[in-house]
């Protein structure tokens, strides 16, 4: 018997996501919040956790957190589904609406997990190339979205790894002309761009995906989506009942309760982003792509893998391997860090290019 022979054909050829763990580096590779989570908020979260919370299963409906998200977004709790990170929700959407013989549309380049969850669920990923400024080619998007086998389309705005946004009028044009689902992934919406939440009232085929990861809870894995009740009730059939643990639910509540603190961190990150852009633009041969997110895509005139390796030697980890199309082969992506981290990154990168 070979275990490999027992594996589903579509899983056999996948490569596991096992990021290389670098120790003692400044992490500017995963678009997390670089500011420490406030100790007083940690204290308040743990003050609200009892021994009972450890031995009992979490609230399967996440009622308290949904009530907070409801107040935060202006949407009813019935329209919200919680996830163990928004990654889990991407998979849940595809488990529910995708599958063999069904297509999903993604404008490329974009967040790699859409395709990977597509492959895991047997859904056929259809990539529509973006234009040279990474904007959507709406006619081609529409043509693919209107294919009878298409069930779902994923559009991230701001987009990862490019950092640009899709204007809301384009989202409206796409969602109103198709009979399949459109997921607007707003993972980075706190850093820029316009939310599509107001469109939910008009379009039952729209799903808005959000995460707490980029504003300070990446380690606790909390995401949510907002959609029409028919969509949320179908998704709830395939959802693991206890997918978001008790500590994570309470921590996400605390983030909303203390939004003022996080709002200030977000403002600081956005201001630092502009400083990083200017610093990068001043470097010889570097091309910087405009970003409304908490990271910046840029190309370098020398081998990006070499630049990446030498930065790691200096204790700075950024993101490489963004793909081979669209000129990304010469690109790297840096997440906005603290002021000191950004200064160090700029100084060390500059050394590699002069």
**Helices H / strands E in the chain, number of each:** 14, 12
Four-CA torsion 142, 211, 93, 14, nearest 10 degrees: 90
Toward ligand PMP, which CB reaches closer, 79 or 243?
A: 243
Smallest gap from Cβ 148 to ligand PMP, in A, equals 27
Smallest gap from Cβ 186 to ligand PMP, in A, equals 9
Edge-to-edge strand ranges of the sheet holding 80-83 = 80-83, 223-227, 206-211, 181-185, 150-156, 103-108, 124-129
Smallest gap from Cβ 201 to ligand PMP, in A, equals 24
Report the alpha-carbon distance of residue 156 to residue 11 in Å, rounded: 25
Toward ligand PMP, which CB reaches closer, 322 or 346?
A: 322
Tokens 């996501």: give the residue. Answer: 17
Smallest gap from Cβ 223 to ligand PMP, in A, equals 4
Toward ligand PMP, which CB reaches closer, 86 or 338?
A: 86
Toward ligand PMP, which CB reaches closer, 160 or 291?
A: 160
Smallest gap from Cβ 104 to ligand PMP, in A, equals 15
Yes or no: say if 72 and 210 are a contact pair by the CB < 8 Å rule. no
Yes or no: say if 91 and 120 are a contact pair by the CB < 8 Å rule. yes
Report the alpha-carbon distance of residue 14 to residue 122 in Å, rounded: 12
SS3 category, 41 = helix
Binding-site ranges for ligand PMP (CB under 6 A): 31, 85-87, 111, 156, 160, 185, 187, 211, 213, 218, 223
Smallest gap from Cβ 210 to ligand PMP, in A, equals 8
Q: Which residues contact 102 (CB under 8 A, 6 or more apart)?
A: 123, 124, 149, 150, 151
Yes or no: say if 299 and 162 are a contact pair by the CB < 8 Å rule. no
Look up residue 202 and give its two tokens.
Answer: 């008009």
Toward ligand PMP, which CB reaches closer, 137 or 218?
A: 218
Smallest gap from Cβ 323 to ligand PMP, in A, equals 14
Smallest gap from Cβ 2 to ligand PMP, in A, equals 33
Toward ligand PMP, which CB reaches closer, 283 or 317?
A: 317
Q: Name the residue number minimizing CB distance to ligand PMP.
A: 85
Angle, to 10 degrees, between the axis of helix 339-353 and the axis of helix 259-281?
A: 20
Tokens 């909303």: give the residue. Answer: 256
Toward ligand PMP, which CB reaches closer, 159 or 205?
A: 159
Report the alpha-carbon distance of residue 71 to residue 104 in Å, rounded: 32
Smallest gap from Cβ 272 to ligand PMP, in A, equals 19
Report the alpha-carbon distance of residue 215 to residue 262 in Å, rounded: 7
181, 252, 258, 257: which is closest to 222 by C-alpha? 252
Report the alpha-carbon distance of residue 120 to residue 99 in Å, rounded: 9
Toward ligand PMP, which CB reaches closer, 210 or 346?
A: 210
Toward ligand PMP, which CB reaches closer, 218 or 256?
A: 218
């Amino acid at each position: 018997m070979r275990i490999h022979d027992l594996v589903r054909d579509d899983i056999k050829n996948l490569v596991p996501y096992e990021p290389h763990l670098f120790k003692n580096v400044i992490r500017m590779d995963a678009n997390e919040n670089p500011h420490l989570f406030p100790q007083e908020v940690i204290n308040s979260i743990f003050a609200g956790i009892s021994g009972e919370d450890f031995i009992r299963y979490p609230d399967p409906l996440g009622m308290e957190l949904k009530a907070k998200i409801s107040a935060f977004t202006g949407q009813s709790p019935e329209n919200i589904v919680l996830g163990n990170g928004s990654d889990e929700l991407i998979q849940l959407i595809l488990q529910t609406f995708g599958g063999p013989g069904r297509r999903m549309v993604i404008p490329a380049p974009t967040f790699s997990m859409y395709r990977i969850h597509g492959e895991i669920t047997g859904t056929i990923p259809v990539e529509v190339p973006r234009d040279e400024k990474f904007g959507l080619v709406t006619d081609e998007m529409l043509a693919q979205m209107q294919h009878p086998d298409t069930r779902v389309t994923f559009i991230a705005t701001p987009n990862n790894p490019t950092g640009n946004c899709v204007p809301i009028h384009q989202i409206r044009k796409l969602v109103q002309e198709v009979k399949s689902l459109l997921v607007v992934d707003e993972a980075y919406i706190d850093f820029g761009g316009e939310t599509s939440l107001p469109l939910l009232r008009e379009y039952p085929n729209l799903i808005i995906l959000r995460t707490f990861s980029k504003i300070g809870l990446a380690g606790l894995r909390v995401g949510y989506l907002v959609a029409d009740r028919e969509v949320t009730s179908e998704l709830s059939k395939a959802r693991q009942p206890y997918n978001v643990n008790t500590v994570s639910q309470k921590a996400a509540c605390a983030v909303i309760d203390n939004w003022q603190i996080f709002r200030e961190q977000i403002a600081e990150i956005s201001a630092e982003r502009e400083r990083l852009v200017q610093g990068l633009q001043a470097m010889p041969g570097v091309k910087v792509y405009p970003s409304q997110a908490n990271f910046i895509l840029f190309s370098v005139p020398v081998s990006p893998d070499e630049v990446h390796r030498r930065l790691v030697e200096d204790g700075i980890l950024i993101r490489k391997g963004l793909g081979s199309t669209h000129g990304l082969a010469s690109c790297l992506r840096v997440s906005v860090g603290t002021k000191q981290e950004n200064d160090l990154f700029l100084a060390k990168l500059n050394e590699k290019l002069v």
